[in-house]
């Protein structure tokens, strides 16, 4: 039994099989492969998260903007550029209605590719023929993937009508857009060209006021935002966002077109008659406010075609290189009043004399104070007087009348460089005037520590220093304005064309430079220059004129520039209303090159028209102008066009101020102040209101009591009011009280009576 069991067990052990080959099954994953798979999966997940993070945080804003661009249509609304007006309301720069033609290339399509190709070619051909454009360039725009392409800007109405007719004939209603636009237009072409400047094809200011005041004139564009689908077509009835444009503001300049026209007329005449090789320049300023009443350079240019050479430049333009042509055009556009400096010559003696009197170094009429022997010995040289005969012993007044160089060299030596430089700085001669004019340059003086005896001598009579004409007239205006320096002002008002609010650019007093007493003394000497000195050619019958001549020779090494002849004038001597500076560059005419002979007569011509226009009374008693025979009846000009009404009133002898919104050639006058039938003196103002204009400016009535007729007339006119005088003597009563608010153009009735002092 025991054997059998043992045998059986052995047999069972023999049935066990040992596996020596690897186990292979499709239902299980080897552990090494599983590890690799997990690593790869984690890596892919990490890369995916990193990419998402990069897109979200690094490229997020960029992709958001791109998606916005792909899903929206932005149509820009161009703002209207502000107009520029003169001080009397006449438009100097306006926007003329034109159109811009654009296309939406993605909308110029047909049902299949072949028809679309033919259609696009047809559109390109039509546009290129109507607007005289290059066909290949136009076709490239039509085939563009852009949402909008500009075909042409500033299209006149005639071409627009031709396009509309072509579109109608070819049954094209989408894809071609006609957008309203404006083109800058200058009604007076060449007038004040150097001051106003011009715009480029995109209505951006490139020169003058147009460039300097670009941010005020240009406004802010608006836009219409709508949605488009994946096919890049606008989604019908989708919500639109409209952001309105902020139109540019209007500018009212201090320039008076009437005075501007007067000075330009005589400046051109003077440049031509005296054969001035480098042209001429003129500035008229109100010394009380710093307002620039007129500013002109000649030769000028046409603002409506600024890239066309003027007559002077055209003589040599074609022979110039491309670079020289560009330089010559820039020079043609330059406003000499601020863009170029010059040696002021003897007009600068007014400044030297003012310093000497203010510092009590001399008096106006001290006998034998200066001696001229025909020259002055300075260091190692003799500096000559301009006159061939020595002036001998002189007072300061006589020295100014004679424009004697040795006398002023002696005076400069007495004053000394530190004191002179202190006053030059106070007169504003070391800094630009910050007038708001484009391209203003600064003066050129010696550094104070480098001024030696020769430099002190020459600058005492205005040579070997350089200033701009504006710096010079600003300093002279300070002398004429009781010694108070005013900041020059070219922009008077800024009008928001959307809200109609008007912001005045404030009159700015800089500082008191010399005393009123010194001012009166210098003005008295300047009057003597005209009545009994080298400036007699500037005299105007019936008016008190003060003046100073100037002649500066060209710097050594630049003799080709020639002499500069100039004249500065003030009027009237009491209560000065205007300062005039006329400069002629390199005169070659028969009158020579001396400022008194060449420029003096020009100043006389200008002032003989400007002073009556300003209402400055002549020596004849101003009250005589109120006699019944000299009164003008105000006509009824209501229901006439604004332009026609202005013409009628000016022919009758009135001045006008106009409030009109739109084209003065089509809008009718709705109201006027004063009313028809009133009798007024010549030069009175009539205020006109165009249809739809709600502007009615009120002014404060001044206190006229104790004024004579001349003073009362002048004061009333400065407020844009009118006056009716009764009697003679001084004003004792007025029908509107002091500071009462009345409408512009209102007639103020005053009574004048002789006082006891006057009747004795």
Identify the weakest region by mean pLDDT among 158-172, 532-546, 549-563, 718-732: 718-732
Residue 54 has what pLDDT? 77
**Of the residues 573, 597, 614, which one is the last residue of a structural domain?**
614
Is the torsion defined by CA of 101, 107, 113, 118 positive or negative? Answer: negative
Residue 624 has what pLDDT? 52
In SS3 terms, 572-601 reads as CCCCCCEEEEEEEECCCCCCCCCHHHHCHH
Pair (655, 750) in one structural domain:
yes
Residue pLDDT, tens place only, 339-392: 999 999 999 999 999 999 999 999 999 999 999 999 999 999 999 999 889 999
Contacts of 617 (CB under 8 A, 6+ apart): 625, 709, 710, 713, 714
Residue pLDDT, tens place only, 396-450: 999 999 999 999 999 999 999 999 999 999 999 999 999 999 999 999 999 999 9
Residue 550's pLDDT band (cuts 50, 70, 90): very high
Residue 597's pLDDT band (cuts 50, 70, 90): very high
CB atoms within 10 A of CB 231: 8
**At 461, which CATH number?**
3.40.710.10
Identify the weakest region by mean pLDDT among 157-166, 286-295, 665-674, 687-696: 687-696
Residue 18 has what pLDDT? 56
Pair (600, 628) in one structural domain:
no
Q: What is the mean pLDDT of the chain?
A: 87
Pair (693, 594) in one structural domain:
no
Residue 227 has what pLDDT? 54
Q: Is residue 64 part of a domain?
A: no
Pair (447, 587) in one structural domain:
yes
Residue 758's pLDDT band (cuts 50, 70, 90): very low
Greatest alpha-carbon pair distance for the chain in Å reads 183
Pair (578, 629) in one structural domain:
no
Contacts of 431 (CB under 8 A, 6+ apart): 442
Residue 75 has what pLDDT? 60
SS3 707: coil
Dist CA 515 CA 507 (whole Å): 21
Mean pLDDT of 736-749: 90
Q: Is residue 467 part of a domain?
A: yes
Task: Assess whether pLDDT exceeds 60 at residue 466.
Answer: yes
- φ/ψ (deg, to 5) at 338: -130, -20
Task: Assess whether pLDDT exceeds 90 at residue 508.
Answer: yes
Q: Is residue 7 part of a domain?
A: no
Residue pLDDT, tens place only, 27-38: 555 677 777 888
Pair (648, 596) in one structural domain:
no
Residue 290 has what pLDDT? 98
Residue 395 has what pLDDT? 96
Identify the burial level of 732 via C-beta atoms within 10 angstroms of its C-beta, where 0-12 means exposed, 13-18 middle and 19 or more buried.
middle
Residue 244 has what pLDDT? 72
Residue 3 has what pLDDT? 46
Q: Is residue 276 part of a domain?
A: no
- Alpha-carbon distances, residue 561 vs 496, 557, 564, 587, 699 (angstroms): 46, 10, 9, 10, 50
Residue 609 has what pLDDT? 94
Token pair recorded at residue 689: 């209101």
Dist CA 728 CA 696 (whole Å): 33
- Alpha-carbon distances, residue 678 vs 508, 636, 670 (angstroms): 38, 10, 18
**At 192, which CATH number?**
3.90.1310.10
**Of the residues 159, 188, 220, which one is the last residue of a structural domain?**
220
Pair (140, 190) in one structural domain:
yes
Q: Is residue 63 part of a domain?
A: no
Dist CA 215 CA 210 (whole Å): 9
Task: Assess whether pLDDT exceeds 70 at residue 627.
Answer: no
Tokens 């020009």 correspond to what residue? 602
Dist CA 585 CA 472 (whole Å): 16
Pair (403, 519) in one structural domain:
yes
Residue pLDDT, tens place only, 199-249: 997 889 999 999 999 999 998 877 665 555 554 455 554 555 667 778 899
Token pair recorded at residue 742: 């009345």
Mean pLDDT of 152-156: 82
- φ/ψ (deg, to 5) at 57: -100, -30
Q: Is residue 466 part of a domain?
A: yes
**At 637, which CATH number?**
3.30.10.20
Pair (523, 644) in one structural domain:
no
Task: Assess whether pLDDT exceeds 80 at residue 612.
Answer: yes
CB atoms within 10 A of CB 296: 29
Pair (669, 549) in one structural domain:
no
Residue 757 has what pLDDT? 36
Q: Is residue 247 part of a domain?
A: no
Query: 698 vs 687, which has greater pLDDT?
Result: 687
**Of the residues 564, 579, 614, which one is the last residue of a structural domain?**
614
- Alpha-carbon distances, residue 106 vs 149, 168, 175, 286, 482 (angstroms): 10, 20, 8, 60, 71
**Beta bridge pairs of residue 76:** 223
**Beta bridge pairs of residue 657:** 687
Pair (561, 643) in one structural domain:
no
Domain range for 411 is 345-614
Q: Are 731 and 704 in contact (CB under 8 A)?
A: yes
Q: Is residue 505 part of a domain?
A: yes
Residue 5 has what pLDDT? 46
SS3 760: coil
Domain count, the chain: 3
Tokens 């022919």 correspond to what residue? 651
- φ/ψ (deg, to 5) at 283: -135, 135
Residue 1 has what pLDDT? 44
Pair (708, 574) in one structural domain:
no
């Amino acid at each position: 039994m025991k054997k059998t069991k043992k045998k059986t067990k052995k047999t069972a052990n023999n049935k066990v099989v040992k596996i020596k080959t690897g186990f292979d099954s499709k239902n299980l994953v080897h552990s090494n492969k599983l590890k690799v798979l997990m690593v790869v999966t984690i890596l892919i997940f990490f890369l995916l998260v990193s990419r998402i993070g990069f897109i979200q945080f690094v490229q997020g804003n960029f992709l958001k903007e791109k998606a916005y661009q792909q899903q929206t249509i932005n149509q820009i609304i161009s703002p209207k550029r502000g107009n520029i007006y003169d001080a009397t309301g006449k438009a100097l720069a306006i926007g003329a209605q034109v159109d811009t033609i654009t296309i939406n290339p993605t909308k110029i399509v047909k049902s299949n590719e072949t028809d679309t190709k033919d259609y696009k070619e047809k559109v390109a051909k039509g546009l290129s023929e109507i607007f005289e454009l290059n066909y290949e360039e136009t076709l490239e725009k039509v085939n563009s993937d852009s949402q909008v392409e500009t075909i042409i800007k500033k299209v006149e109405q005639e071409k627009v009508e031709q396009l509309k007719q072509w579109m109608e004939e070819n049954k094209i209603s989408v894809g071609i857009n006609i957008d309203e636009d404006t083109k800058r237009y200058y009604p007076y072409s060449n007038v004040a060209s150097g001051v106003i400047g011009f715009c480029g094809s995109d209505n951006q200011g490139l020169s003058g006021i147009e460039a300097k005041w670009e941010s005020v004139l240009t406004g802010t564009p608006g836009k219409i935002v709508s949605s488009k689908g994946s096919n890049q077509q606008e989604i019908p009835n989708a919500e639109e966002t409209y952001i309105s444009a902020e139109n540019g503001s209007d500018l009212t300049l201090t320039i008076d077109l009437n005075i501007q026209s007067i000075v330009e007329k005589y400046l051109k005449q003077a440049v031509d008659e005296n054969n001035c090789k480098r042209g001429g320049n003129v500035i008229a300023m109100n010394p009380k406010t710093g307002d620039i009443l007129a500013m002109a350079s000649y030769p000028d240019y046409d603002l409506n075609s600024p890239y066309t050479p003027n007559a002077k430049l055209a003589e040599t333009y074609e022979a110039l290189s491309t670079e020289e042509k560009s330089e010559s055009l820039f020079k043609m556009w330059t406003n000499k009043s601020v863009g170029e400096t010059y040696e002021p010559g003897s007009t600068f003696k007014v400044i030297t004399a003012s310093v000497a009197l203010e510092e009590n170094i001399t008096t106006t009429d001290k006998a034998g104070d200066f001696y001229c022997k025909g020259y002055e010995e300075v260091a190692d040289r003799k500096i000559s007087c301009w006159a061939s005969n020595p002036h001998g012993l002189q007072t300061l007044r006589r020295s100014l009348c004679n424009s004697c160089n040795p006398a002023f060299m002696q005076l400069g030596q007495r004053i000394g460089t530190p004191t002179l430089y202190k006053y030059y700085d106070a007169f504003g001669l070391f800094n630009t005037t910050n007038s708001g004019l484009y391209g203003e340059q600064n003066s050129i003086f010696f550094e104070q520590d480098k001024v030696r005896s020769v430099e002190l001598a020459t600058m005492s009579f205005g040579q070997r220093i350089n200033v701009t004409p504006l710096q010079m007239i600003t300093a002279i205006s300070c002398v004429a304005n009781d010694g108070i320096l005013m900041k020059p002002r070219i922009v008077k008002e800024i009008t928001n064309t959307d809200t109609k609010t008007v912001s005045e650019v404030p009159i700015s007093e800089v500082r008191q430079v010399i005393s009123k007493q010194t001012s009166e003394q210098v003005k008295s000497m300047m009057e003597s220059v005209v009545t009994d000195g080298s400036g007699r050619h500037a005299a105007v019958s019936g008016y008190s004129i003060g003046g100073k001549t100037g002649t500066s020779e060209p710097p050594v090494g630049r003799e080709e520039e020639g002499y500069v002849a100039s004249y500065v004038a003030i009027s009237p001597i009491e209560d000065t209303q205007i300062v005039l500076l006329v400069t002629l560059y390199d005169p070659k005419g028969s009158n020579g090159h001396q400022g008194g002979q060449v420029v003096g007569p020009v100043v006389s011509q200008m002032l003989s028209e400007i002073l009556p226009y300003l209402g400055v009374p002549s020596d004849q008693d101003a009250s005589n102008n109120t006699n019944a025979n000299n009164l003008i009846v105000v006509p009824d000009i209501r229901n006439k066009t604004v332009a026609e009404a202005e013409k009628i009133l000016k022919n009758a002898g009135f001045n006008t101020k106009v409030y009109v919104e739109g084209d003065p050639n089509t809008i009718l006058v709705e109201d006027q102040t004063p009313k028809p039938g009133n009798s007024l003196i010549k030069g009175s103002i009539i205020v006109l209101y165009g249809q739809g204009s709600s502007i009615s400016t009120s002014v404060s009535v001044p206190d006229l009591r104790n004024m004579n007729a001349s003073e009362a007339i002048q004061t009333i006119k400065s407020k844009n009011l009118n006056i009716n005088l009764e009697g003679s003597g001084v004003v004792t009563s007025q029908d509107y009280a002091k500071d009462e608010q009345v409408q512009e153009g209102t007639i103020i009735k005053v009574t004048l009576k002789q006082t006891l002092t006057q009747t004795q």
